[in-house]
């Protein structure tokens, strides 16, 4: 049985005309007849009743038509799924935080491509507020995030990439911008803009300030960039897990915070999806980022 035999059979069953099938499939009527004959010989029974006036399916032919259509539909579904699996195998989706995208992605992309020239690295923007959602909902294969965001998910595996102290983002007009480092109590009477109010280091910061008799007002904003904008307007300060390169004449400074609390940046992935690509990407990322920044 071959696809041409089946194609001719279905077309003849539907049109009941050798000449119409011949026109549709760009064959001669005799070629169509030959294909049907070969199929019947292979199956061992007649598919059609033929006379000089019409072509009709036999009872066995009718059943065969119904079932072969089901089989072809199943084959199409299998084929589409196979193509999907094959294409996914050739793509590797990486969730990138803004800092990694700006300062490290070009290196990671080039290094990864050298090892796997047939696998395309696809960058997907992610943020701290996303938590592990991109992994849970399978929009990425692996992602940069922070260890504290992965704790609620036992099905997620992680690899430590770097450990960083926190930085306070301060307007240069604020006296605190002249300091070499910031103690939590230094933020007494300041307004702190954050995108995630319940983050562990934010709560620890508030506790340290209050334990030393100080007070701080915490305001939650939707985006980290909005918090930075508030600092640029000298409306308060914000906390960042890494410094951003700024010009000498910039209106903000990134000053390290003198705290025992550090942020652990990790790569995270679904444990059941562990494979060579993930291991390689982790190794390349550690090589690039395995340092305090």
Mean pLDDT of 277-285: 95
Asked whether residue 125 carries a pLDDT value surpassing 70, the answer given is yes
More confident residue, 65 or 222: 65
For residues 71 and 197, membership in a common domain is answered with no
Asked whether residue 35 carries a pLDDT value surpassing 80, the answer given is yes
* Percent of the chain predicted with pLDDT > 70: 94
For residues 22 and 108, membership in a common domain is answered with no
For residues 128 and 97, membership in a common domain is answered with yes
SS (H, E, C) the chain: CCHHHHHHHHHHHHHCCHHHHHHHHCCCHHHHHHHHHHHHHHHCCCCEEECCCCEEECHHHHHHHHHHHHHHHHHHHHHHHHHHHHHHHCEEEEEECHHHHHHCHHHHHHHHHHHCCCCEEEEEECCHHHCCHHHHCCCCCEEEEEHHHHCCCCCEEEEEEEEECCEEEEECCCHHHHCCCECHHHHCCCEEEECCCCCHHHHHHHHHHHHCCCCCEEEECCCHHHHHHHHHCCCCEEEECCCCCCCCCCCEEEEEECCCCCEEEEEEEEHHHCCHHHHHHHHHHHHHHCCCC
Q: How much is the pLDDT for 87? A: 59
User: pLDDT (tens digit, 9 = 90+) per residue, 46-59?
Assistant: 999 877 567 899 99
CATH number of residue 78's parent domain? 1.10.10.10
For residues 280 and 159, membership in a common domain is answered with yes
User: pLDDT (tens digit, 9 = 90+) per residue, 251-277?
Assistant: 899 999 887 777 788 999 999 999 999
For residues 154 and 274, membership in a common domain is answered with yes
User: pLDDT (tens digit, 9 = 90+) per residue, 66-106?
Assistant: 999 999 888 888 888 777 666 556 889 999 988 788 889 99
For residues 253 and 276, membership in a common domain is answered with no
For residues 248 and 276, membership in a common domain is answered with no
**Of 35, 65, 88, which residue is a domain's last?**
88
Q: How much is the pLDDT for 129? A: 72
Q: How much is the pLDDT for 156? A: 96
Asked whether residue 150 carries a pLDDT value surpassing 60, the answer given is yes
**Of 88, 108, 133, which residue is a domain's last?**
88
Average pLDDT, rounded, for the chain? 87
For residues 154 and 184, membership in a common domain is answered with no
Range of the domain at 253: 167-261
More confident residue, 287 or 290: 287
Name the domain count of the chain.
3
More confident residue, 218 or 263: 218
Q: How much is the pLDDT for 89? A: 65
For residues 11 and 70, membership in a common domain is answered with yes
More confident residue, 184 or 198: 184
């Amino acid at each position: 049985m071959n696809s041409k035999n089946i194609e001719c059979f279905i077309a003849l069953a539907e049109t009941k005309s050798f000449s119409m099938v011949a026109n549709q499939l760009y064959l001669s009527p005799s070629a169509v007849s030959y294909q049907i004959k070969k199929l019947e010989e292979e199956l061992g029974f007649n598919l059609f009743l033929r006379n000089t006036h019409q072509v009709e399916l036999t009872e066995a032919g009718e059943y065969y038509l119904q079932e072969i259509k089901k089989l072809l539909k199943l084959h199409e579904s299998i084929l589409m799924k196979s193509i999907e699996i094959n294409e996914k195998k050739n793509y590797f989706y990486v969730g990138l935080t803004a800092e990694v995208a700006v300062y490290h992605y070009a290196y990671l992309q080039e290094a990864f491509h050298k090892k796997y020239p047939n696998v395309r690295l696809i960058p997907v923007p992610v943020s701290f507020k996303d938590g592990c959602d991109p992994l849970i909902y399978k929009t990425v294969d692996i992602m940069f995030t922070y260890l504290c965001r992965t704790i609620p998910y036992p099905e997620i595996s992680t690899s430590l990439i770097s450990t960083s102290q926190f930085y306070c983002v301060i307007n240069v007009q604020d006296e605190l911008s002249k300091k070499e480092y910031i103690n939590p109590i230094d933020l007494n009477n300041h307004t702190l803009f954050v995108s995630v109010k319940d983050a562990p280091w934010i709560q620890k910061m508030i506790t340290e300030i209050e334990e030393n008799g100080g007070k701080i007002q915490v305001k939650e904003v939707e985006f980290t960039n909005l918090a930075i904008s508030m600092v640029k307007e000298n409306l308060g300060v914000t906390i960042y897990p890494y410094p951003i390169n700024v010009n000498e004449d910039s209106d903000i400074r990134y000053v390290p915070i003198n705290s025992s609390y550090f942020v652990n940046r990790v790569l995270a992935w679904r444990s059941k999806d562990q494979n060579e690509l993930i291991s390689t990407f982790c190794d390349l990322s550690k090589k690039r980022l395995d340092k305090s920044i």
